[in-house]
Amino acid sequence: MIRLEKRKQTSRFWTYVTPILAVVLTMIFGGVLFAILGKDPVLAIKTIFWDPVFGEFAFYYRPEVLKKAAPLILIAIGLSYGFKAGIWNIGAEGQYIIGAICAAGVALAFYPMEGRWFIFPLMIVAGVLGGMIWAMVPALLRVYFKTNEILVSLMLVYVADVLIKAFSIGLMRNPDGHGFPGSRNLNDYSSAANLELIAGTGLHWGVIAAMGVVVASYAILARHQFGFHVRLTGESPRAAGFAGVNANRLIMVCFLISGGLAGVAGMFEVSGPAAQILGSFPSAYGFTAIIVAFLGRLNPIGILLAGLLLALTYVGGGAAETAMNIPSATIQIFQGMLLFVLLSVDVLTNYRLRWAAKAGGV
Amino acid sequence: MNRRTLLAAGATAAFAAALGAPLRANGKIKVGFIYVGPINDGGWTQHHHHSAKEMVEHFGDAVDFVYQENVPEGPDAERAITQMCLGGADIIFTTSFGFMDPTINVAKKFPNVKFEHATGYKQADNVSVYSARFYEGRAIQGTLAGRVTKTNKVGYIASVPIPEVVRGINSAFIHARKVNPDVEFKIVWIFEWLNPAKEADAAKALIEQGCDVVLQHTDSTAPHAAAKEAGGVYTFGQAADMAEYGPMPRISSIIDNWAPYYIARVQAALDGTWSSVNTWDGISTGMVGIGEISDAVPAEVKAEAEAMRDAIAAGEYHPFTGPINKQDGSVWLADGEIADDGALAGLNFYVEGITGNIPS
């Protein structure tokens, strides 16, 4: 009988090496998968991971990776606070959707008035507040009624999903849209558009915000007392209580941060790449960000790198689909495998395998 | 091309440079397809893919065929289409309404690539739009439904509230009422094009409410299975013939057949005669196929439906010919008046006699 035994101390070295190991293992397993499908595994891996960054058309793909990574990084950074403290906001996808709805609502309310200097900032505020309000529901229920925040936040994703579908055919439907669902195209409304700041670079306000949040988050977690409280609560809730950490307030603050960042990610997306409120707007960024947060070891720099990597698998994966006729499901399996492998490798970082005579253990 | 020159030249110039030569000198052409669903969905996407493959067979080695399935409508679509352009595609078919703005955006960057967008309304110099007059098929279904129903209740599983679906409901209803003044429609909206579980639930609910004919604007065979289980309920194949459910419950079908159009457009691109067009074809060109009417239908009803099919194909009959009133009783089409394509394209109201509201 194999038994898992918790290691007394996890090696710092392995903590940082395991994500890289997981990526390499995923590439190997993925390669086998491609080979079984009769595709050249080396070419497939190269198409996914190398070509978008260094290949012939990198000038187009690099900005695409940035645009795809920005919402992932924003959401994952927000989630990392709660996850560090053992507070599980699984519903970032819902907060992302509500942020987008609120921001688009502001834009559509002012359409066609010109005034970027106040409309665009107001949309950002609306996005943040929308995400925060949606995140407060599971936070308050947890604090006052001891409900499970995982379930409540997750269920609210489906509510948000229904809301955006309803808005896209109802309240926010484009009156000039020939009866089709979907709001006006915000990219065509200069006061609300979140376009590339320098053409061809992919840099829009969301990318800049993501970078800023990474830096700020790094400073808060390393230097600020709040960062200390978050880490302490995660490692030892009892000790945190003795240190004067108000557990309920921490829950609220963590949900406010993750909800606000998810909401603003939705704002940058709906005013930029997505361009409109549409039933197909939800693209599971809020769920993928959970993978990003863990792959990045809940560390801001790690999340930055993990976000870029996941974005790369989307962009490169799409390229592999067309270039090599790989079925889209294979790419999704590939992404899922990444988290699965990481979690497996993590078990071995935190636990050691022991051969034991009798069953039991952790 | 390094980063600095790119920035200096601007993105558009870079794209143009990256895609200099328009058509291959050797007469080979690269044709791309962007699909919203999986290629084996049994309905919409599968039929585009079938038709595309028929086109590829027709041209043989002259065509280099690429496709991407499961492309979400939104920013990912724009990237998928751009990827195809960068990969050297000469003509790209984007086969879902939600690809409209992405197609237009990419088309601006690649003026030498030709685009064909299905079911949209935005055209450009290098963007054609094409769609099928499925409402012609609905007129035949409505006639059959009105004749075969015994409970005078016809169920309709509607997908997404867009003009195409509303046109289908109106057309089926008008023709059912024409042959059976007592017929009523019960309409269920499921807000999806393909969801076997929801479609089955909707079909069961309609059957329980007494409907003995179920029409569907959704792509799966689940309603047929539900009808078969209930017994004595008539259904129609959608997008595919779904003949495996004949002769009962499936008594006929609307079949999407894009192959003739795809062959014609690729041929035009090969010949250098391609230009931006707005195509809306129906039964006459075969874009809308009417599946064999099964023997479960009385012979005289079958003959009546086939006569209508032939009249529509010959251009002698238009399914939206007045007098037709709107749901609120106001006049839409005067006696003998035929709806113009503009009004049909944006149709967003029910005709008189249908109960309930279009979701909004």
Question: Which of these, B260, B276, B264, B1, lies nearest to B113 by C-alpha position?
Answer: B276
Q: Decide if A179 and B32 are in contact by the 8 Å CB cutoff.
A: no
Report whether pLDDT(B332) > 80.
Answer: yes
Q: Which of B17, B16, B356 is nearest to B188 (CA)?
A: B356
Assign B254 to helix, strand or coil: strand
Task: Provide the CA A45 distance to its chain's centre, in angstroms.
Answer: 23
Burial class (CB in 10 A: 0-12, 13-18, 19+), A98: buried
Q: What is the pLDDT of residue B160?
A: 86
Amino acid at site A85: A
Contacting residues for A249 by C-beta, under 8 A, at least 6 apart: none
For residue range B280-306, what is the model confidence (pLDDT) as tens digits?
A: 999 999 999 999 999 999 999 999 999
Q: Do B74 and A280 touch (CB under 8 A)?
A: yes
Closest partner residue to B101 (CB to CB) among A57, A179, A275 is A275
The per-residue DSSP string of A286-307 comes to HHHHHHHHHHTTT-HHHHHHHH
Nearest to A317 by CA among A334, A335, A297, A331: A331
Run of H or E residues at B187: strand B184-189
pTM of the full predicted structure? Answer: 0.85
User: Strand pairing of B234-239 and A351-355?
Assistant: unpaired
Per CATH, domain B134-255+289-345 is 3.40.50.2300? yes
What is the structure's pLDDT at A358?
Answer: 56
Every domain of chain B and the residues it spans:
20-132, 134-255+289-345
Partners of residue B290 on adjacent β-strands: B254
Tell me: the pLDDT tens digits for B110-128? Answer: 999 999 999 888 999 999 9
Among the ranges A324-333, B41-50, B306-315, which has the highest mean pLDDT value? Answer: B306-315
> Is the ipTM value over 0.90, yes or no?
no
Cβ–Cβ gap B73/A280 under 8 Å: yes
| Distance of alpha carbon A350 from alpha carbon A175, whole angstroms | 57
Nearest to A198 among B7, B70, B71 (CB): B7
Same topology, domains B20-132 and B134-255+289-345? Answer is: yes
Task: Please give the single-letter amino acid code of residue A249.
Answer: R
- The single-letter code of the amino acid at B160 is V
**pLDDT of residue B59 exceeding 80:** yes
**For chain A, which residues make up each domain, given as ranges?**
68-291
User: Across the A/B interface, how many CB contacts are shorter than 8 Å?
Assistant: 104
Q: Please answer whether residues B203 and B226 qualify as being in contact, where contact means their C-beta atoms are separated by less than 8 angstroms.
A: yes
3-state secondary structure of A192: coil
By the 8 A CB rule, do B87 and A320 touch? Answer: no
Across the interface, of A178, A278, A323, the residue whose CB is closest to B98 is A278
For B248-278, how does the pLDDT look when each residue is reduced to its tens digit (9 = 90+)? 899 999 999 999 999 999 999 999 999 999 9
Q: At B29, give phi and psi (nearest 5°).
A: -130, 140
Instruction: Look at residue A357 in the predicted model and tell me its pLDDT.
Output: 60
Q: Among residues of chain B, what percentage have pLDDT more than 70? A: 92
B79 touches chain A (CB under 8 A): yes
Q: Rounded distance, CA A206 to CA A315, Å?
A: 18
B86 at A interface, C-beta within 8 A: yes
Nearest to B191 among A165, A274, A275 (CB): A165
**What is the predicted pLDDT for the residue at B29?**
93
Residue of A nearest to B163 (CA): A179
| Per-residue pLDDT reduced to its tens digit, B197-223 | 999 999 999 999 999 999 999 988 999
**CB contacts, 8 Å: B76 with chain A:** 283, 314, 318
> What's the Cα-to-Cα distance from A96 to each of A285, A310, A327, rounded to whole Å?
8, 18, 28
Whether the predicted pLDDT of B176 surpasses 90: yes
B163 CB neighbours in chain A (<8 A) are: 178-180
Could you give the percent of chain B with pLDDT greater than 90?
72
| Residue B168 forms contact with A (CB below 8 Å) | no
B20-132 architecture in CATH? Answer: 3-Layer(aba) Sandwich (3.40)
Q: Residue B2 has what pLDDT?
A: 45
Rounded alpha-carbon distances, angstroms, from residue A259 to A86, A97, A106, A132, A138: 16, 11, 19, 4, 11
Average pLDDT of the residues of chain B: 89
Average pLDDT per consecutive 10 residues, chain A (362 residues; last block may be shorter): 77 81 91 91 91 89 93 96 93 97 96 91 97 97 94 96 92 85 90 87 92 94 88 86 88 95 97 90 91 91 94 90 83 84 83 68 47
Q: Which tokens is A265 given?
A: 């990610």
A318:B68 CB<8 A: yes
**DSSP-based three-state secondary structure for B73:** coil
The shortest CB-CB distance from A328 to any of B70, B75, B345 is to B70
**Closest residue in A to B347 (Cα–Cα):** A179
pLDDT for B329 beyond 70: yes
Give the residues across from B188 on adjacent strands. B157
Q: What share of chain A is helix, strand, coil (3-state, %, to 5)?
A: 70, 5, 25
**Upper half-sphere CA count for residue B88 (Cβ side, 13 Å):** 11
Amino acid at B285: T
Tell me the Ramachandran region of residue A176: left when phi exceeds 0, alpha when psi lies from -120 to 50, beta otherwise: alpha
Residues 27-46 of B with CB under 8 A from A: 32, 38
Q: Compare B23 and B82 and report the one with higher pLDDT.
A: B82
Q: Residues in chain A whose beta carbon is closer than 8 A to a beta carbon of chain B?
A: 57, 59-60, 64, 67, 165, 169-170, 173, 178-182, 185, 198-201, 269, 273-276, 278-281, 283, 314-315, 318-319, 321-323, 325, 327-329
